[in-house]
Amino acid sequence: MPELTTTLVTFPAGATSGTATVLAVRTLDATAGVIVDTTPFHPLDHSWPDQPGDTGVLVADGAEFPVADCVTGGLGPDGEFAVGTDIPVRRGDETWQWLAVHVLADASATPNVGQQIELRVDAARRAALSAAHTGCHLMALALNEALADRWRKDARTDGLGHPDFDSVAMDTSRIGLDASTDRYRLGKSLRKKGFDPEGLREALPELTATINTRLAGWLAQDAPVRIDTPGPELTARRQWVCELPEEKVAIFCGGTHLHRLGELASLTAELMLSEDGSELVVVTTPKRG
């Protein structure tokens, strides 16, 4: 494969189509992965797999090649190739080449290396994931605010100045087509950091109402949203930026997002506590206008 430090990506600006040159076609279990120089496809991040990879189609000389997934791949200093969780180093390791790998639905035919192709992302699916991801970040800010009076020690704060419960307690975050699901640990470690979960179960209805009121207020303001990036590289450290009425907020994020909050007709969060009280689960559901 030609020397390539990292795939160049256009999805941070919202692109869902583009053209590129095929650099390599790699065997992936029972299918094949196509690597190009530039892509609008968002790949699943192997180190923080919150937003799924895009699907869509590659088109070369009139032939269509359906893309069932897009994943992060890496090429090591000794030529070793790996994808997803098989990558043995952290994202951005400078000794590796970092690649968006377009996983074909059918490996019986592939585009040719050196061929110019058109890339088309499933725009409707992307829009659903973007809505859920934007909603996830807004929920986190509202959750941090709603839980602020439960901290007994100083904690690092979010972009609105509230203790960053979302960041400190986060276990997993998953972006779906219909909703996002965030799971938070409420164990001894969080208590030592100063968070008091006492009476949380009884407070869930009030907390939920408070969070949803805040979310509705933000949507009504139709604040603009963008992704700030220092460059087009897949490995660039990007930020989600939202011009909320209180203050501009930035959160490090590698996913895709809406352009304005007004694209959502509603956004609601449901809070649930595990039976033993050790885990808080928040499901955030966006409805697009």
Q: What is the pLDDT of residues 208-229, one digit of tens each?
A: 999 999 999 999 999 999 999 9
Task: Please report the DSSP string for 83-146 in residue order.
Answer: EGGG--S-TT-TTSEEEEEEEES-TTS-PPTT-EEEEEE-HHHHHHHHHHHHHHHHHHHHHHHH
Beta-bridge partner residues of 70: 102
Residues 60-72, mean pLDDT to the nearest whole number: 97
Q: Distance (Å, rounded) from C-alpha 165 to C-alpha 234?
A: 28
How would you list the strands of the sheet with 248-252, edge to edge? 225-228, 239-243, 248-252
CA distances to 30, 34, 84, 195, 255 from 49, in Å:
22, 20, 9, 27, 10
The whole-model pTM stands at 0.96
**Phi, psi angle pair for 9, to nearest 5°:** -125, 145
Start-to-end C-alpha separation, the chain: 44
88 Cβ contact partners less than 8 Å away, ≥ 6 residues apart: 76, 82
pLDDT of residue 91: 86
Residue 155 sits at φ, ψ, to 5 deg, of -135, 160
Mind listing the pLDDT tens digit for each residue in 92-112? 899 999 999 999 999 999 999
pLDDT of residue 241: 98
| Mean pLDDT of all residues in 248-263 | 97
Whole-number Å distance between alpha carbons of 204 and 281:
11
Mean pLDDT over 225-241 rounds to 97
200: β partners: none
Does the structure show a pLDDT above 60 at 2? Answer: no
Mean pLDDT (whole number) for 263-283: 98
Which residue carries 């941090």 as its tokens? 144
Q: pLDDT-derived band of residue 3, with 50, 70 and 90 as boundaries? A: low
Mean residue pLDDT across the chain: 96
* pLDDT > 90? residue 249: yes
Instruction: Enter the tokens of residue 49.
Output: 């797999």
C-alpha 68/C-alpha 41 separation (Å) is 11
Please give the Cα distance from 203 to 142 (Å, whole number).
Answer: 15
